[in-house]
Amino acid sequence: MSAGATALLVIASVVGLATAIGFFARGHHRMDLEQWTVGGRGFGLLIMWLMMAGEYYTTFSLLGASGWVFSKGGPALYIIAFVSLANCAVYFLGPEIWRLGKVHGLQTQADYFQLVYGNRWLSAVVGLVGIAAIVPYLQLQLTGLGIIVSIASFGGIGQRFAMTVAAALVAAFVLASGIRAVAGISILKDILMLGVVAFVGIAVPRMLFGGIGPMFARLAETRPGHLTMPGAVPAYGHVWYISMVLMSSLGQLIWPHSFGSIFSGKDGETIRRNAVVMPLYCLMMPFVFFVGFAAVLSQPGLANGDLAFMSVVRASFPPWFLGLVGGAGALAAIVPASIMLLTAATLFAKNLVRPILAPSLGDVGVARVARSLVVALTGCSLWCALHSSPTLVALLQLGYGMVCQFFPGIVMGLVWNRARAPAVLCGILGGLAVLTFLELTHRDPVFGMAAGFLGLVVNFCVTIGLSLLGSGRREESGAFDLEAAR
């Protein structure tokens, strides 16, 4: 059997096992809208940790992070910083968000905005922007999976075919078992991913350079700029680093699928404890970075940094191990893609179709529409993945820049009763306008800052300013009285 066939067989075995777990994850649960989206709100600490780790640590963690180390150097360290800080927001805000979800039956992020601000148009905009942000994140997962299969097959299978098969598999998971499929597969994915990343991160520097210390000594001698800020790209200096960490750490909670996962916990204390232990998963990231730095020295001719991790593994290990790494990477794409797809479909059906187009549509009808939208959204993400080629990190940063615009509305909804729906809506649109202009004119970063962070600053100013210009408290306009609810 050829090397490519051996690697692909191992990948297929891993994905086949995950497929079985996913389709049987529903057990005896009836897949109504509540079970499909939030798993009956019964997930404990371990399942929450595994599932949210499955959302946080995706193909970006393998391919994108190592690719940025290869291409940019020092600026890639922002990844470790923001993932750790992101859980601070979850620790303080998560339990209250969970409580509101439990008491009022919330299932999506847009449901929260509808409850707190009492404005269906604001809720619809939140849902629409959330879907728009999820599409590039889905594109990232499909693109990453295409890279994994193409390299593991030694070029025998093209990225396009691999992405198409992956898209069909993800849609099947979501249609069959909803969020329970994601939680079940996360267990296998995390065991594999943690194991192979730690092993590769230690073994590669040792095999190629005699250890991690000698590798960095050689880097300091031959590529010293790669180990400092701003690294290999002058635009990514300390101001960019700080703004990117702040924006991304706030955005991690605000992703529609991460926000919705909070509702699946069994109680608020589970959410808080999960925020405490979640940063432990970040311990795997230095091992990914080690592989990226090893690629700088051993694979200097790579045209695309996203290929660094798998290229080093292919050159250093036997085909069966390449397949094992590829299987872990495939699950790192399938798990988050599944929950993102589920979230986007539910947002569209429940927070756009029902309130705007079909107010009489019940939960059964919403579930039916959401399932039909799974196929459409999968096709849209696949088309984007097949017809555009930005780096994985660029896709992720675009999504973060979009979703972090929800943060002012979420936090003010919990702490400030003067925040009004029109002000929050104008703030979101203002922040998005700044982000869109800077991205389309290729001015990111601007003044050294990440474009999404500058949009967030504008968002806060608009939201606070317009809220102060208004009179009275939010509940006087018919919106939810949060203080009374406590």
CA distance 154 to 246: 39
CA distance 432 to 455: 6
Q: What is the pLDDT of residue 23?
A: 67
CA 133 and chain centroid, separation: 10
pLDDT > 70 fraction of the chain, expressed in percent and rounded: 85
Residues 159-168 pLDDT 10s:
788 888 778 8
The top-scoring range by mean pLDDT among 106-110, 168-172, 435-439, 470-474 is 435-439
Q: Tell me: domain 3-392, CATH 1.20.1730.10, correct?
A: yes
pLDDT at 27 over 70: no
Range of weakest confidence among 37-46, 104-113, 294-303, 437-446 = 37-46
What is the arithmetic mean of pLDDT over 387-413?
Answer: 82
- Quick one: pLDDT band at residue 287, thresholds 50, 70, 90? very high
CB-based contact 80:216 (threshold 8 Å): no
Residues 308-339 pLDDT 10s:
999 999 999 999 999 999 888 888 888 777 77
- Quick one: pLDDT band at residue 36, thresholds 50, 70, 90? very low
CA distance 308 to 12: 22
The top-scoring range by mean pLDDT among 24-33, 202-211, 409-418 is 202-211
Phi, psi angles (nearest 5°) of residue 428: -60, -45
pLDDT at 294 over 90: yes
What is the arithmetic mean of pLDDT over 182-189?
Answer: 72
pLDDT at 380 over 80: yes
| Partners of 43 in the β-ladder | 265
Each domain of the chain, given as residue ranges in start order, spans: 3-392
Higher pLDDT, residue 459 or 139? 459
Packing angle of the helix pair 268-277, 45-56 (nearest 10 deg) = 50
Range of weakest confidence among 73-77, 209-213, 368-372, 481-485 = 481-485
Q: What is the pLDDT of residue 314?
A: 92
- Quick one: pLDDT band at residue 482, thresholds 50, 70, 90? low
Length of the chain: 486
